[in-house]
Amino acid sequence: MSKIGKRSKVEEDDAQFTDEQIEALEANQKELERVELALERQTFLRLDKYYEKRRSTLKAIPNFWRTAIRNHILLSEATSLLDDQKALSFLEDINVVRDPREHRAFTIEFYFAANPFFTESVLKKEYKLTPSSDAAANQPDEDGISDAILNFDLKRDTEPSTIKIGWKEPDKTLTQLYPRVTDPDDEESVEDHGSFFNVFEHPDADGEIANAIAFDLYPTAIDYFFNRGENSLGALGMESDSDEEEDGSDEEDIDLEKPKKKAKKARH
């Protein structure tokens, strides 16, 4: 959500804002943030049914989600390991379920076809809302916005889920082959995410990757599929792997054993 009235910025442009305008913005900033958050919340709630209708259409497009992911700057890096790409070639659908009380608390669901990597058909990552113990802070206004919601923080106000993925073979256990590496002095500081699938097996309280999926990739998936999303490789004028694959045959696209250019290991 955007912040209104950052004084250091507006003071640099006296021609654009008068002192009266700056003072009025700052005096009403909290109320404006409430209205802005209410609009954002209602937008997501209203659009959910349309995203649900969209799912069946996207599932009919081969490799839709894998292509969209590979065109997203952050997510292409997070899934850049060749073994991750092989596992994601079985990805059929992505869904995001939002808490109706707080849309920024959510669950991402990855649906897979039968594959040689793991037994699950669905991998889920939930950021479960943990309401404030302050009853007054939880009291919503007429738009459903409470002080707790206004001051929401994903790390503080949600409990991230973890699952133990049912890996089929030792040489397919990607979270062990490519473990998550943390700072020895701070376990919450991730130096290397390793395999993308560590997102499901570890808390990942900051939710950087999950947030990118829920609030960027998922709502504008079609733009990312065509490599024109706001945070896409196309936005930087870079050619994506999916662009290169367009010149190949379908057989080349699904032959994952063919030599490919070396993938950069994901680091954040």
In a domain, 171, yes or no: yes
**Position 15 confidence tier, pLDDT thresholds 50, 70, 90:** low
In a domain, 14, yes or no: no
Domain that holds residue 28: 19-254
pLDDT at 185 over 70: yes
In a domain, 236, yes or no: yes
In a domain, 213, yes or no: yes
Contact between residue 240 and residue 233 where contact means Cβ atoms under 8 Å apart: yes
In a domain, 59, yes or no: yes
The answer to whether the predicted template modeling score (pTM) of the entire model surpasses 0.85 is: no
Task: Kindly report, residue by residue over 76-115, the tens digit of the pLDDT.
Answer: 999 999 999 999 999 999 999 999 888 999 999 999 999 9
228: domain CATH number? 3.30.1120.90
What are the tokens at 163?
A: 């699952």
In a domain, 264, yes or no: no
The whole-angstrom separation of Cα 235 and Cα 31 is 34
In a domain, 32, yes or no: yes
Count how many domains the chain has.
Answer: 1
Mean pLDDT of the chain: 83
Contact between residue 11 and residue 50 where contact means Cβ atoms under 8 Å apart: no
Least trusted range by pLDDT, from 92-96, 157-161, 238-242? 238-242
Burial 136-160 (b: 16+ CB within 10 A, else e): eeeeeeeeebbbbbeebebeebbeb
In a domain, 179, yes or no: yes
pLDDT at 259 over 50: no
pLDDT at 4 over 60: no
Q: What is the pLDDT of residue 50?
A: 94
